[in-house]
Amino acid sequence: MPGTTLPPVPHYVPASPTKEDLDWADLVIIDISKARTPEGRAQLAPQVRDAMRTTGFIYVVNHGMTQSQTDRIFDIGDVAFTQVSEEEKRQHAAKIAEDGSKIGYKLRQLWTIDNGIRDQHEQYALHRSIFGQQEHPKALQPYLPELRAFSEHNHFNVLYPILQMLALGMELPEDTFVNLHGYDAVGDTHARFIKYHPRTQEEELKTKNVWLKGHTDTGSVTILWSQPVSALQIMSPDGKWRWVRHLDNALVVNLGDTMEMLSGGYYKGTIHRVVQPPADHRDRERLGAYYFALTDDDAKLVPFAESPVLQPVGIVRKCADEDAPTMREWRRGRVMAYGLKETKKRDEVVEEQEIVKGIILKHYN
């Protein structure tokens, strides 16, 4: 992070962790500081591989940022919502419906959740380059160098080692997936801040307390900076929803549909959702900091069939290789559909949408 004197920023005061005894997911903890050497990555790769084939989520610790540096990122993230007027947010709105891009603001009440109830969360996504690709609100201008450093830290110090270990887990050359995630390439990889606001009792009843339906992520790797308001649940291998516990200065990492397609189904995008927090967090806003990684826009999402590990287990494809979408096609199809287009109920739990080239997206409610 920048080492010069930093501009002042209003302090965001997070909640204390919940005291409720919830059904917590049992996630592997990966010390990513060990991944700085080839030997360390080789040692960690089997743990990452096995976790991403079972629970699909891991904790990452010792990632290189201190607690105070992380706290400041949340301070800056809150500026995007508390120090920017609604009018200015609209001026910087993302072209979600028009171009399938989340770069910019996603405003509150854009998406329909259930029974006509719209969402109560807002987002601000920053293209990883920070400078040149988008205009930012005036209140964020003083912090752009720090946000650039934050993006670089996520990309090079967290994302790349994870991608290398995922490749090793498939017995592929270490940089197989790294080569599809160029920092300066054309693509939509971005940092994002999300703020969830408490909802009314009527909204909770009509949505069965679901704030964001069960889904898999669009991209390859999602990095969530752990925060204390409990609301994230993952679908465990036994089919039960379990809560993700907050760990101070840890990252929560999962894979998305893009990695599932590239790995021929060897790795799977895990279903997760956001629900109403427990009672002692119910009146708190939930501020999150994320890094969403997608491959370069022109990457064709076909399996690395040469992986030796796929021979005994077989390759699972979402479509024929000749019909496989590029990252840009897949991203646009998904972003332009979610919460904006009608879904078809398959049963009491699953709703479906056709996204692109016959590939079906499922929502779990």
pTM higher than 0.85:
yes
3-class secondary structure, 193: strand
Domain boundaries defined on the chain:
29-315
pLDDT of residue 362: 72
CB 219 within 8 A of CB 258: yes
Range 168-181 burial, b when 16+ CB lie within 10 A, else e: bbbebebebbbebb
The pLDDT tens digits of the residues spanning 10-59 come to 999 999 999 999 999 999 999 999 999 999 999 999 999 999 999 999 99
The pLDDT tens digits of the residues spanning 237-276 come to 999 999 999 999 999 999 999 999 999 999 999 899 999 9
Tokens, residue 153: 């830290």
DSSP string, 220-241: SEEEEE--SS--EEEE-TTS-E
pLDDT of residue 2: 58
Q: If pLDDT is split at 50, 70 and 90, which confidence band does 179 have?
A: very high
For residues 165-184, average pLDDT? 98
Please give the share of the chain, as a percent, with pLDDT higher than 90: 83
Crossing angle of helices 160-169 and 38-53, in 10° steps, is 70
What is the maximal distance between C-alpha atoms in the chain?
A: 57
Q: Of 3.40.630.30, 3.40.1550.10, 2.60.130.10, 2.60.120.330, which CATH number belongs to 29-315?
A: 2.60.120.330
Q: Alpha-carbon distance 99 to 291, whole Å?
A: 20
DSSP symbol at 52: H
Please work out, in degrees rounded to the nearest 5, the angle formed at the alpha carbon of residue 60 by the alpha carbons of 307 and 282: 125
Using a 10 angstrom Cβ sphere, with 0-12 exposed, 13-18 middle and 19 or more buried, the burial of residue 115 is exposed
pLDDT of residue 340: 65
* Integer Rg of the chain from CA: 20
CB 250 within 8 A of CB 61: yes
Query: What are the φ and ψ backbone dihedral angles of 236, each rounded to 5 degrees?
Result: -75, 165
Q: Alpha-carbon distance 75 to 70, whole Å?
A: 9
